Structure 1
Amino acid sequence: MPRPRPLSEEELEQLRAELSTGREPSVWFTSAAVGVEAGRSGRVVALGDPADGDYIQVRPTGSKDVLAFSATEVTTVKPPRKKKAAEPPTRKRASAPVAAASTPAASVAAPVRPTHTAKAEPATERPVAAPASTPPAQPPAKPKRGGRKPVDPPAVVVTLSSTAEGEWLVEVVTGKKRTVRGLSVSPGAVAQAARALHPDVSAAIETVLDAARERQRTRVEQLQAELEAARRMLSELSE
């Protein structure tokens, strides 16, 4: 049997496009899939890093577990339905010909008057053979589950960083992939989140916020002084 063809780049891009819209695209397992019957369908819930090998996370139909597979273990082409094998025709049992019982010719004899009456002997009953007992039906064997373990969700790391001007940036790393990079966050939202987390976190962030407030206050005073000097110069030029 030829080895299944791995998913092409176009098929992987199509899967990523459907996942980005919130849909879970359907795939079917090939004969290379371990622990899952070939031809069974499933839903792709995430795509990881191809360098990991088994990076396609699939939830098989009828299961709540999410398993990881490689690009050769699944396909986007629905396999054809298996045709049922034709049942062999049943043979009709030939009925044995019934032989006609020949009746012997009765001989005619002169009637004889019996001298005594013979007692009829009771007919003896033949024992009836008990029907053979049928063995109890064996319960169907439970299908063995595959040896794959459910895939744990990737770890998420959130990083907050501040600039010298008092701006705050947030980055998010999901597993090995950076999903959010350099997103600007207002200082008020950072302070509110810090107060909700832990007093030590709030104290550390408040120190940075106080320093940023002091720098901005000094800058405002400098700009006000420059504005006053510009106004005086304008007034002198207008006279």
Structure 2
Amino acid sequence: MSPLSSDDLHAIREELNAGTTPVVWFTGSAVGVPEGRSGKVIALNEPAEGDFIQVRPASSKDVLSFSVAELTRVKPARKKSAPDPAPAKASTKARADKPAPEAAKPASGAASAPSTVPAAKSQTAAAAKSQTAAAAKSQSAAAAKSQTETTAKPASKPASKPSEAGATRSKSRQSKPAVNGATVTLTADSDGQWSVEVSTPRKRVVKPTQVSANAVQQAARLLHEDVSAAVEPVIEAAREQHRARVEALRAELEAAQAALEELDD
């Protein structure tokens, strides 16, 4: 079966946007789900790479993630069942049970008496042979049925619990460690305010969040002396800026205080 193509993904996305649940089938590459089983697509994650297709397999309540190689839009053909060999056996039995044709009657009455004994003996032997063949066939059929039941019984046990396979698959997918890495960015604005941001190749984990300059200074010292040397001038410049502002506000406050005292006098 051919895996999903870009056209198939485009059609599935359009069906999801229209409010429907597209049907797909699992290929031989699918893990934890039998080949040929159907499922419904619940969502398509972004970006389109890896196991980004969310599918709920038929007869299951679990929603699992799959790749394009594990799914197909081509419905598999039904497997043809093997022909029943019973008619051939029945015809064989009919031929075995059919009595042998009677011997041709003799032309004269004198010779007819001796020939009846072999004919009766032949019919008796044929009947005994037919009964023996029927008994042997019955025993063979019973043994075959017992062997079939013994073989089929253990095989049906795993099929009764589809949720266990889905739960194991879901747990194995969720326990995969993240190996894509992350990027931590520290930014200082013109007023000396610092913010931190964390992102991965797929999405932004932490949006820009304000942090104190003191915390940035301590973290830089713990990371590396070169990092501390690069951060320290920025923090020192912000410190001088705030010191100058404090001095200006203090002078403005003193002038206002003096003007207030003159008004009071």
TM-score by length of 2: 0.42
Bigger share in helix? 2
Q: TM-score, normalised by structure 1?
A: 0.46
